[in-house]
Structures are given as structure tokens and as C-alpha cells.
A = this chain, B = another copy of it.
Amino acid sequence: MTDARVQTLVQESKFLSSLPREAAEKLAAAARARVLRPGEYAARAGDPAFGLAWLHSGLVFIFFEMSDGSRVPYLVAWPSSVSFDGLLGEGQFPASSTALTPATFVWITREVAEEVAGQHPDLMNALFDYAVRQGELRAIWLGRLFSLPLRSRVRLLLARMAVEMGQPGEGGRILDFPVSHRTLAIIAQVSRDEVGRAVRELLAEEVIERIEGRRFLVPDLRRLLGPSLLESTVAAGLIPEIR
């Protein structure tokens, strides 16, 4: 990726914009980025950890690989998720990760992160705040998602995908990449068959539409979620805005 393109990504970063400005500028200048295709590994357990890394766009699945080859889910990282593993002193990733959708992540080496933290004592406080808030939002999201019956669960995750990753298009927001039942099953932690049934129901209700290339169109987020799920989701801070 060209330096100019990386600097554009970095300027759009919700994470960097939450940090003290001078420190953020130094981190931005040293940032590197990588684009992942769906299924591609971001990292494998045991790989040296990036000092500080965040997901610019897309979804990344993080999991433990068991000795029999099965994957025990750890979490799904949403855009603006930050990995602080590389600052914790162990130096390697505890889990493996692959892209669930086209994804771009940005990282800064541990050396740079530590140097900038040394020059800007207020950086550590801001990283701490971000880490705590991120943990809170993940707990709220998982608690909410899994407390819902399956159909509402698929509604909620499609709505969040549309808000955070959808492109405004004719007739609604477009998830402009192939969205497989497998991807939805990983996020919802249910079987592919169950996701298939839920998706067919949502298609029949016309609250979502399939468009060319296994993509989805969400015509109206209000209709997809319904008033009560919409209200409580916005109130919990899980969906930043509904336009």
C-alpha cells in the first residue's frame, strides 16, 4: 500500500482521533497498513505481536486453533477495534485471526509506540480509556446479541454491518462484498443451517435483499430492526447513528 493511501486511512481513524493530537501525529507518520482478502490470516497464534494494531475496515475473526484442527471462537473484531497485545510485554499473539470480509488493518511497531509514549505521558491515559471502553462495548454487544432469539440476532448483526460497513447506494445501504451464511454463523455463533433459515425469513419479509455477488441490500434499518430493538440498540451505544 502506498504511503499516501496509508496516510488517508490514518486520517480517517476513529482510534487515532481519540488520542492526544501530537502523539497521534507521530504514530500516524510511522503507521503501516495491510489489506486482507476474506479467509486470509491476519496473524497466527505465536506470531510476534504488532505493537499497536487496529482494524480500519472489515471484520476479523479471532480464534484458538485446537489440536484437532477445530476453531474455538475468541471474538469477532469490528472496525476501529484495537489490539493492545503487543504492548502487554509478551511479544506474541495469543490467538489466530482471519478476515471474515475484505479488511484493512493498520499497525505501528512496539518500538515506535513505546518511544511516543515516553515523549507523551498523556498517551498511556488515552490508550487506557480506549481499551476500557472497547472492553465495555464488546461486553454490551455480546450480552445483547446472545440474549436475543436467533432471528433478532441475525437482524441485529446485519444492521450493525450495514451501519459500520455499508455503502450508501440506490435504495438503501449495500454490504458491498460477499456475505456468506458461514460469516453470519461465525458472528452469531449458531449453525449455518439456522442462519440460512433466518436469512430466508428476512428475505421473505423484504427487510433485506440479495443483490449480485452474494451481497446484501438493507433498504431501511428501522424496518430491519423494528422500533424496540432499534431504540434499545441505539441507547446502549452499539449503533452510532441511523440515517
Contact B139 A232 (CB under 8 A): no
- How many residues of A are counted as interface, with CB atoms below 8 angstroms from the partner's CB atoms? 35
Contact A189 B139 (CB under 8 A): no
* Chain A 51-95 per-residue mask, 1 if CB under 8 angstroms from chain B, else 0: 000000000000010100000111100000000100111000010
Q: Is A124 an interface residue (CB 8 A)?
A: yes
Contact A64 B121 (CB under 8 A): no
A209 CA / B179 CA spacing, docked (Å): 47
* Chain A 191-214 per-residue mask, 1 if CB under 8 angstroms from chain B, else 0: 000000000000000000000000
Number of this chain's copies in the complex: 2
Q: Is A29 an interface residue (CB 8 A)?
A: no
Contact B146 A142 (CB under 8 A): yes
Pick the contact of A129: B88, B94, B121, B235 (CB < 8 A). Answer: B88
Closest to A85 in B: B132
A72 CA / B156 CA spacing, docked (Å): 15
Q: Is A30 an interface residue (CB 8 A)?
A: no
Q: Is A35 an interface residue (CB 8 A)?
A: no
Contact B189 A143 (CB under 8 A): yes
CB proximity of A90 to chain B, nearest CB, Å: 10
Contact A143 B232 (CB under 8 A): no
Q: Is A43 an interface residue (CB 8 A)?
A: no
